[in-house]
Amino acid sequence: MDNLVPESTPTDATRQGEITLVGVIEAEILAGNVELPPLPKIALKVRELINNDGDLKDIAALIEQDPGYAAAILRYANSVAFAGLKQVADLSTATQRLGLKAVEQTVLALSAQEAFTSDNPEEERILSQLWDHSLATALGARRLTIKGVSPELAFLAGLLHDVGKVIVLRCASDLRKQNPERFNFSDLVLREFLDELHCRIGDQFLESWNIPAEVRDAVRRHHDTEFGADDLLPAIVSCADLVASKLGVSLHPNPDAHLLECPAAEILHLDDVKVANLLIDVEDDLENFKGA
């Protein structure tokens, strides 16, 4: 998998094999034959407390039990999003500053990162690129938020928009192990699998995590070519996805992408100045987030 996007063009025979294998991969996933990462127990408990109107102190006490989640909540509470406010060092104060929704979205985001890992070095390289792209898209989506969509929801939808690629990659890897001769497809075909299946597979996977329907809708539709007035979240994620690609943080880097020509540009009221500022802000956000 050293060359994820080779220059060669697939033959008709390859494309016919691809069509067959797409069906095999989708059938394997839908049949439950691919091991999917479950939502971690701490995330389930946090969501349960929040859904039952739990006390912030109880939620903070639960998060304290996991150093990784605790550090993420504190980092967010002290991030540039709250610039000018006093630094906080305890989870109780951090959760109060963020609020229930932001705490829930942060816990879900951290849980999602665990899906982007593999013991296989070649897969890990691709998954690492996917995670960086997902993070850049999430930060772009948060910057693109307009009235009617919360920044936390936009961030989560951006972070999860390509999770279907993780599932498809895992399935393809399992099939190769089971039958290397039959499933010895090229990296180009693998890339086409990811592109072809990731939206609907991502939607189905996130349903198993009980992710809100509006987020799943954005995951399923972020490659649509038209967006209406009620499609704000899919439009935001679609544009943010292109922002990440233009910045080179993608399996499909596209530095020449024209954001004002993307399907979401009009509904998001983009112009040259907004696009220029957006690119600078997202690049800075990504550097700050990864350096925190």
pLDDT at 227 (0 to 100): 94
Section 256-263 average pLDDT: 94
Same domain, yes or no, for 147 and 172?
yes
pLDDT at 9 (0 to 100): 39
Q: In one letter, which amino acid is 68? A: G
Total count of domains within the chain: 2
pLDDT at 81 (0 to 100): 66
pLDDT above 70 for 198: yes
pLDDT at 49 (0 to 100): 86
Section 42-68 average pLDDT: 85
Which of residues 90, 114, 138 is at a domain's end? 114
Q: Is residue 273 part of a domain?
A: yes
pLDDT above 50 for 27: yes
Average pLDDT, the chain: 83
Which of residues 114, 138, 167 is at a domain's end? 114
Same domain, yes or no, for 167 and 258?
yes
pLDDT-derived band at 221, boundaries 50, 70, 90: very high
Closest C-alpha to 209, from 165, 163, 168, 173: 163
Q: Is residue 2 part of a domain?
A: no
Same domain, yes or no, for 257 and 146?
yes
Same domain, yes or no, for 225 and 271?
yes
Residue 224 contacts residue 238 (beta carbons within 8 Å): yes
Q: Is residue 5 part of a domain?
A: no
pLDDT at 242 (0 to 100): 97
Q: Is residue 158 part of a domain?
A: yes
pLDDT-derived band at 1, boundaries 50, 70, 90: very low
Same domain, yes or no, for 45 and 28?
no
Same domain, yes or no, for 45 and 147?
no
Q: In angstroms, rounded to a whole number, what is the distance separating the alpha carbons of residues 203 and 193?
A: 16
pLDDT at 156 (0 to 100): 87
pLDDT at 84 (0 to 100): 67
Kindly report the CATH number assigned to the domain that includes residue 167: 1.10.3210.10
pLDDT at 83 (0 to 100): 63
Same domain, yes or no, for 83 and 150?
no
Q: Is residue 7 part of a domain?
A: no
Q: Is residue 141 part of a domain?
A: yes
Q: How far apart are the first and last CA of the chain?
A: 31
Q: What would the pLDDT profile of 145-171 be if each residue is shown by its tens digit?
A: 988 898 888 988 999 999 999 888 888
Q: What percent of the chain has pLDDT over 90?
A: 33
What residue numbers bound the domain in which 270 lies?
A: 12-32+117-291
Which of residues 114, 131, 165 is at a domain's end? 114
Q: Is residue 1 part of a domain?
A: no
pLDDT above 80 for 237: yes
Same domain, yes or no, for 189 and 107?
no
pLDDT at 133 (0 to 100): 95
Same domain, yes or no, for 21 and 49?
no
Q: What would the pLDDT profile of 60-108 be if each residue is shown by its tens digit?
A: 888 888 888 888 888 888 876 676 678 888 888 988 888 888 888 788 7
pLDDT at 4 (0 to 100): 37
Section 204-231 average pLDDT: 90
The verdict on pTM exceeding 0.75 is yes
pLDDT-derived band at 7, boundaries 50, 70, 90: very low
Sequential DSSP letters for the chain: ---SS-SPPPPHHHHHHHHHHHHHHHHHHHTT-S-PPPPPHHHHHHHHHHHTT--HHHHHHHHTT-HHHHHHHHHHHTSGGGTTSPP--SHHHHHHHH-HHHHHHHHHHHHHHTTS--SSHHHHHHHHHHHHHHHHHHHHHHHH--TTS-HHHHHHHHHHTTHHHHHHHHHHHHHHHH-TTTT---HHHHHHHHHHHHHHHHHHHHHHTT--HHHHHHHHHTT-S---TT-HHHHHHHHHHHHHHHTT-SSS--TT--GGGSTTTTTTT--HHHHHHHHHHHHHHHHHHHH-
Same domain, yes or no, for 224 and 267?
yes
Q: What would the pLDDT profile of 77-86 be if each residue is shown by its tens digit?
A: 887 667 667 8
Q: Is residue 229 part of a domain?
A: yes
pLDDT above 50 for 14: no
* Residue 100: CA count within 13 A, CB half-sphere: 14
C-alpha distances in Å from residue 225, one per residue of 71, 202, 244: 39, 19, 18
Same domain, yes or no, for 84 and 166?
no
Torsion sign (Cα): 77, 81, 85, 86: positive
Same domain, yes or no, for 163 and 177?
yes
